[in-house]
Amino acid sequence: MSVPTGLPEPEVLVHTEGRAGFLTLNRPRAINALTHGMVRRIDEALTAWEHDPAVTTVVLRGAGERGLCAGGDIRAIHDDARVGGTATVGFWRDEYRLNARVARYPKPYVAFMDGIVMGGGVGVSAHGSVRIVTERSRVAMPETGIGFVPDVGGTHLLSRAPGELGTHLALTGTPAGAADAILAGLADHFVPAADLPALAAALTTEPATEAVARFARPAPEGDLAARRAWIDACYAAGTVEGIVERLTDSGVPEAKETATVLLTRSPTALKATLYAVRRARAQDSLEETLNMEFRLSCAALASPDLVEGIRAQVVDKDRNPRWTPPTLAQVTEQATEGWFAPRAAGELGLTPPARPES
């Protein structure tokens, strides 16, 4: 008879050491993909530590060597969407509220954005007050490749990147290395991966600003700065079709390759994403953008492209999604606007904190 080896490890390891509270995402085999339970556990810990004078800094990190977090558990989303379930909407509702909370957290929130940091992983890290990247970092919002749109406040972050860099990253889902993540406003400091354990130890005894300043180094050169001219020129077009045309006709080989990449993405998701980034630019708060993204996510959940995109990329892995409709020209402005309308699931209902009176 086999003897049980014990209970499974928690999906989020929570502990305090010295002056720091540590949150370790603990699903290394899934690159720490977020579940609803993980979102709730992080929120519970932040609640406990917010008014605990013994905890002056929060540190977020991921178990294993592959990355902080690969995003939400998209297999679970796929299965829920196929049967018309409601679990995913409940997950997003709590996840987006957590994203807003991280951005407003009153204590230093230090995120170790080491390795793969995608989708929901960006949401629990890039809204933090101190964001650390390493030479292994690959930060991305790759949603258009699965028939989805950047969420978790991603359009808020990307809309505020210099020039049209954020539009490029949102539409293509291109991963940003350390220097590019810093340039785009997704991260703050570069620390070599080998130094993260020592930095974590320092955060247990020192103020976050002092500890990070001792370990921060210049980031290795990135790619986006050198591509800024053609990115800004091409992505300033008013439509996705216009962007593709400018990229194709630019005479820059990298730009033409980018046009080819865009044409593999969900046409519906591309158009909704461009609208979302442009609207987020004009919005005053993360909360307002998260409310918009919740509508978009619910619309995507009801569309055929999300199930098909996850099937092609993750379930069957044939990398050959059959989008509906299959071309940009067939996605009407009316259809795109419909993604921004209130949904049957209701509103997220976030409001930004009141500004202090002068």
Query: Token digits for 169?
Result: 């990253």
User: What's the rounded Cα separation, in Å, for the pair 186 and 157?
Assistant: 7
Q: Pick the catalytic residue: 151, 180, 287, 305?
A: 151
Q: What residues does 219 pair with on adjacent strands?
A: none
Angle between helices 165-172 and 267-282 (to 10 degrees): 150
Q: Do you know the residue count of the chain?
A: 358
Residues 6+ apart with CB under 8 A from 51: none
Is 143 marked active-site?
Answer: yes
User: What's the rounded Cα separation, in Å, for the pair 197 and 187?
Assistant: 19
Q: Pick the catalytic residue: 72, 121, 166, 309?
A: 72
Q: What residues does 60 pair with on adjacent strands?
A: 23, 111
Is 72 marked active-site?
Answer: yes
- Helix then strand then coil, in percent of the chain rounded to 5, is 50, 10, 40
b/e per residue 130-153 (b: at least 16 CB within 10 A): bbbbbbbbbbbbbbbbbbbbbbbb
Token look-up 């060597």 returns: 65
User: What's the rounded Cα separation, in Å, for the pair 125 and 131?
Assistant: 7
User: Which of these, 273, 246, 269, lies nearest to 258 by C-alpha position?
Assistant: 246
Q: Pick the catalytic residue: 120, 166, 177, 309?
A: 120
Token look-up 């690959």 returns: 138
Is 120 marked active-site?
Answer: yes
Is 151 marked active-site?
Answer: yes
User: What's the rounded Cα separation, in Å, for the pair 102 and 46?
Assistant: 9
Residues 6+ apart with CB under 8 A from 9: 26
Q: Pick the catalytic residue: 80, 114, 143, 308?
A: 143
By annotation, the residues acting in catalysis are 72, 120, 143, 151
